[in-house]
Amino acid sequence: MTAIVTSKFRTVNAENFKEDIGANSVYVAIGKPDVWSLTTSDTTDTTPFTPNDHSDDIGEARANFMAMQKISSTDITHVIPRYTWDGATAYVAWDSNDGSINDKKYYVITSEFKVYKCIIAGTSTSTIQPTQTLTVPTAESDGYSWKYMYTLTVADSEKFLTTSYLPVKTVSLGGQGTVLGAVSSSTTVILSEINSKIHTGMTVSGTGISGTPTVTAIAGSVLTLSTSQSISNAVILTFVYASDSDASNSLSEGDYAQYLNQRASLLHANAAGIERIEISAGGAYSSTPTVTITGDGTGATGTAVMTGTSPNQVVASVTVTNKGTNYSYADISFNSGSASANATIAPPLGHGVDPVSELGGFFVGINTQLSGAGGAGADLTVGNDFRQISLIKNPTNFGTTTISTAGTLKAMNYLDFTSGVTVANYSVDELLVGGTSGAQAYVVQIDSSNGYIYYTQNSKTGYTDFSNGETVTGQTSTTAGVLESSSAVGDPEVNRGSGEMLFLENRNPINRSTTQIEDIKVIIEF
């Protein structure tokens, strides 16, 4: 058997992941302050080890946790590979028949941070940078035709744009919901689940809807409409903005501009129409043949363009005289001769209406910033480095089964020394050894005000617990201090073994400082 995973499936998976992040408590965890080595005696950083998806490496990463920071739904977006228009590249035209189109340069971002999709490619490099913001594909003098898709906002550029990837999103033109149970002469409608994009003021359409009612109230999955309706069970209702002012009040300035372009593109598009016809064999003709377009859509027509002289004319191209609509497949035939051709079909809603699907948005970008500010007891410690980044879904507060919701979490145990010990005499990153237990650990953070030392243990140190009242010696500073006689080992704020680890990356050391902000970007491909 042979099979494929379609790009649509990949995009849906990316969207589901994005939505799942927004609906759960997901944290970026940083960890591993000690060097990449196999023993405590080796203090020289080596190349980061390649992580494996098995319990040993996952467990080791959890043991290395220093702190976590919660990410929000605004910290994640679809991204696509970045192709910057440079005036020296030959781009390819978008092609519905090309199964590897998403591996090719068929779109660009310009110096104005505008994104364009190539509809017709020229015969050589693209030399005219597109600047128009029209709702229909527009030709340039170099032979290229571009469809304006959207302009990257300043906020999205700062947050998600990298040298290799650029953010892409489809601004909702509304939402849909499925009726749960028949409705008879009532203003109340219950949906199987509420779409987050549905809000009061939106107009409603669908089978059984009378007039143009609006949503006047939302309570869970229960909607109140402005007029009574009679709707069958399982009908899909569509909700759209009641007006441009409604959309303007509901969207950011940048998203509103994209909304207007998408809506205009939808109105002017030939949804799933025949975009172009490409000749695979020209045949031999004494007269111009008739072109017939057959498929599941309607209205498409084309005219053959000939070259040569009779009786050896060949079909050089086909001019699409009417794109038609609603094709999912189309066959091109000629009334005589042996010419053959293939049809490129526009996306289901037309070009520019759904940028995520049209540009292969099956990558997800996550961005969070670690602030440099923080005192001795701050969750996000400064004055030390980290070498691991993880994504943890739904960790729980220490000693409970309650899912964590705090903005930041300290993930390390700490040692509580007696009042006579000056913990500042210990050194960050040095190895601690317990005189009675033989336990070993690395110093991560020193909290002099409370007499605490936060530490990590891993496979190099072992996981032996420190004992109450024992003497703990720093192997670099030679400082020796006595732990409290009871409860000398303090707990972290989070159960390190809890939650699902969705992502793990090993890196070269990243130093933290009070004077900087670490901008962490994670790209995941589905």
Q: What is the DSSP string of 342-380?
A: EEEE--TT-TTS-HHHHTT--EEEEEEEE-S---TT-SS
Tokens of 270: 């030939």
Helix (H) or strand (E) holding 299: none
- pLDDT score for 366: 95
Amino acid (one-letter) located at 497:
G
Radius of gyration in angstroms for the set of CA atoms belonging to the chain, rounded to a whole number: 31
Under the banding of pLDDT at 50, 70 and 90, the label for residue 267 is: confident
Q: Which amino acid is at 305?
A: V
Helix residue ranges per DSSP H, 359-446: none
- For 270-289, write each residue's pLDDT tens digit: 788 999 999 999 999 999 99
> Is the per-residue pLDDT at 515 higher than 80?
no
Q: Under DSSP, is residue 491 helix (H, G, I), strand (E, B) or coil?
A: coil
Answer yes or no: are the C-beta atoms of 386 and 65 closer than 8 Å. Answer: no
pLDDT of residue 474: 97
Q: Which pLDDT does position 376 carry in this prediction?
A: 55
Give the span between the Cα atoms of 465 and 482, in whole angstroms.
15
The alpha carbon dihedral of 97, 102, 103, 104 has a sign of positive
Which of the listed residues 315, 344, 373 is the one where a domain comes to its end?
344
Q: In the structure encoding, which two tokens stand for residue 406, read together? A: 């705090």
> Residue 60: which H helix or E strand, with range?
helix 55-63
Instruction: Take residue 413 and report the two structure tokens written for it.
Output: 């145990």
Clarify whether residues 506 and 371 are in a common domain: yes
Say which residues have a Cβ less than 8 Å from residue 5's Cβ, sequence separation at least 6: none
Q: Which amino acid, 451? A: G
Q: Are residues 374 and 471 in the same domain?
A: no
Residues 293-306 have a mean pLDDT of: 96
Within-domain flag for 369: yes
Amino acid identity at 524? I
Q: Which of 30, 68, 61 is nearest to 497 (CA)?
A: 61
- Above 60 in pLDDT, residue 521? yes
Q: 374 pLDDT exceeds 60?
A: no
Tokens for 146?
A: 């571009």
C-alpha–C-alpha distance, residues 454 and 374, integer Å? 15
Of 344, 362, 397, the last residue of a domain is 344
Identify whether 269 is part of a domain: no
In a domain, 106, yes or no: no
506 and 404 in a single domain? The answer is yes
Same domain, 449 and 375: no
Q: Which of 296, 325, 344 is the last residue of a domain?
A: 344
Verify that 4 and 75 share a domain, yes or no.
yes
The 8-class DSSP code of residue 317 comes to E
Task: Give the C-alpha separation, 84 to 318, whole Å.
Answer: 31
Q: Are residues 385 and 260 in the same domain?
A: yes
Structural domain of residue 229, as residue ranges? 174-247
Q: What's the pLDDT score for residue 349?
A: 87
Q: Do residues 447 and 393 share a domain? A: no
Segment 54-82, tens digit of pLDDT: 999 999 999 999 999 999 888 999 999 99
Strands 138-139 and 385-393: unpaired
CA 45/CA 417 separation, integer angstroms: 30
Please report the pLDDT score of residue 513 as a whole number: 76
Based on the fold, state whether residues 222 and 362 are members of the same structural domain: no
Residues 388 and 479 in one domain: no
Three-state secondary-structure class, residue 293? strand
Residue range 339-365, pLDDT digits in tens: 999 999 999 888 999 999 999 999 999
The answer to whether the Cα torsion of 116, 122, 127, 128 is positive or negative is negative
CA distance 503 to 28: 9
230/286 same-domain check: no
Residue 185 has pLDDT above 70, yes or no: yes
Residue 500 domain-assigned (yes or no): yes
Q: Per the domain annotation, does 74 fall within a domain?
A: yes
Number of structural domains the chain divides into: 4
CATH code assigned at 236: 2.40.30.180
Q: What pLDDT sits at residue 382? A: 81
Regarding beta strands 385-393 and 500-511, do their DSSP bridges make them parallel or antiparallel, or are they unpaired?
antiparallel
- Say if 120 falls within a structural domain: no
Q: What is the pLDDT of residue 301?
A: 97
Residue pair 315/342 in contact by the 8 Å Cβ criterion: no
Judge if the upstream peptide bond of residue 213 is cis by omega within 30 degrees of 0.
no
CB environment 29-66: b (16+ within 10 A), e (fewer): bbbbbbbbeeebeeeeeeeeeebeeeeebbebbbbbbb
**Average per-residue pLDDT in the chain?**
93
Is 101 within the bounds of a domain? no
User: Same domain for 333 and 356?
Assistant: no
Do 34 and 67 sit in the same domain of this protein? Answer: yes
**Tokens 């759904």, residue located:** 354
What pLDDT does residue 473 have? Answer: 98
CATH code, domain carrying 6: 2.60.340.10
Q: Residue 245: exposed, middle, or buried by beta-carbon count in 10 A (0-12, 13-18, 19+)?
A: exposed
What strands, in cross-sheet order, belong to the sheet with 26-31? 408-410, 65-71, 26-31, 385-393, 500-511
- Among the residue ranges 4-13, 330-339, 406-415, 457-466, the one predicted with the least confidence is 4-13
Of the two residues 240 and 480, the one the predictor is more confident about is 480
CA angle 505, 511, 517 (to 5 degrees): 90
Instruction: Give me the half-sphere count of Cα atoms (radius 13 Å) on the Cβ side of residue 117.
Output: 28
Asked whether residue 407 is assigned to any structural domain, the reply reads yes
pTM (predicted TM-score) = 0.84
